[in-house]
Amino acid sequence: MLCPDNIKNLIRKSKFYNSNSTAGFTLIEMLAVVIIIGILSAIAAPSWLAFTNRQKVNKVNDVLLSTLQEAQREAKKTKINKSIWFRRRQVDNIIQYAVVSENITEATDISLWKPLGEEIGVDSQQFILLTNITDNNTASVTTASNTISTAKKYITFDYIGVLPNAKFGDPASGSTTLPGLKLVVAVPKSANSTEAGNTKRCVIVQTILGGMRTEKDDKCDQ
């Protein structure tokens, strides 16, 4: 027979086990949530990185396009030739650009040069700039496989907004379309790499009248 003391002991034990069970279950729940969050983060991280990289090259490509278009407009407005120069600064490998008038042959004035991407909050060391331009308004190859070097590459619009003495390269095999003057913004294959990955955006100046178009990824190589 259960006496009052025995009943009290049973109640105490019941409360003890229930308390431990409840506390243990809560801990398991917390661990499960942490594990799930970790798994989801591991899955989502590459996708998020790819997304942010695409956003960066999109923005930089927009800057390239707007800079070229603005230089063309200014050339027609002022009736003075305008050139857009690109280079990689030797001391820190930052990609720079400058918009200059025809009377300037060398950008000795450091204030002319601006880091590409700075105005949109993108560090130029987070992307690669490729081109097929070998001389003023001249493309010698189809694919923009050359990284911008310390020697400047440039495109010039004359006083009516066209490209004087332009050479747009030779058509690829089986094509009749000229490659055009290409500026390609690419995500590096890996950190500190100078080799372009698959994510690319580009501006192509394709006609002597200064017609431009944008492409992405493998279309930039055609």
Inter-CA distances, 6 with 2, 12, 16, 18, 19, Å: 6, 10, 15, 18, 20
More confident residue, 110 or 93: 93
Mean pLDDT, rounded, for 52-80: 94
Provide the pLDDT for residue 24. 52
CA dihedral in degrees (14, 19, 25, 31; nearest 10)?
-150
Question: Per the CATH hierarchy, to which homologous superfamily does domain 29-220 belong?
Answer: minor pseudopilin epsh domain (3.55.40.10)
Mean pLDDT, rounded, for 107-128: 83
Lowest mean pLDDT among 16-25, 44-53, 122-131, 200-209: 16-25
Residue 160 to residue 163: CA distance in whole angstroms: 9
Q: What integer best gives the mean pLDDT of the chain?
A: 82
Provide the pLDDT for residue 222. 76
What would the 3-class secondary structure string for the chain be? CCCHHHHHHHHHHHHHHHHHHHHHHHHHHHHHHHHHHHHHHHHHHHHHHHHHHHHHHHHHHHHHHHHHHHHHHHHHHHCCCEEEEEEECCCCCCEEEEEEECCCCCCCCHHHCEECCHHHCCCHHHCEEEECEEECCEECCCCCCEECCCCCEEEEECCCCCCCCCECCCCCCCCCCCCCEEEEEEEECCCCCCCEEEEEEEEEECCCCCCEEEEEHHHHHC
Residue 86 to residue 185: CA distance in whole angstroms: 13
Q: Which two tokens stand for residue 178?
A: 């000229």
Predicted confidence (pLDDT) per residue in 123-160, tens digit: 888 899 999 998 999 998 777 777 777 777 889 999 99
Mean pLDDT, rounded, for 73-83: 94
Provide the pLDDT for residue 205. 96
What would the 3-class secondary structure string for 137-177 be? CEECCCCCCEECCCCCEEEEECCCCCCCCCECCCCCCCCCC
Reply yes or no on whether the pLDDT at 213 is more than 90. yes
Q: Which residues pair with 188 in a beta bridge?
A: 196
Reply yes or no on whether the pLDDT at 68 is more than 60. yes
Reply yes or no on whether the pLDDT at 40 is more than 90. no
Provide the pLDDT for residue 7. 45
More confident residue, 19 or 190: 190
Confidence band of 193 (pLDDT split at 50, 70, 90): confident
More confident residue, 35 or 137: 137
Inter-CA distances, 192 with 148, 149, 187, 189, Å: 15, 16, 11, 9
Q: Please tell me the pTM assigned to this model.
A: 0.76
Confidence band of 81 (pLDDT split at 50, 70, 90): very high
Q: How many CB atoms lie within 10 A of CB 192?
A: 7
Confidence band of 12 (pLDDT split at 50, 70, 90): low
Provide the pLDDT for residue 11. 47
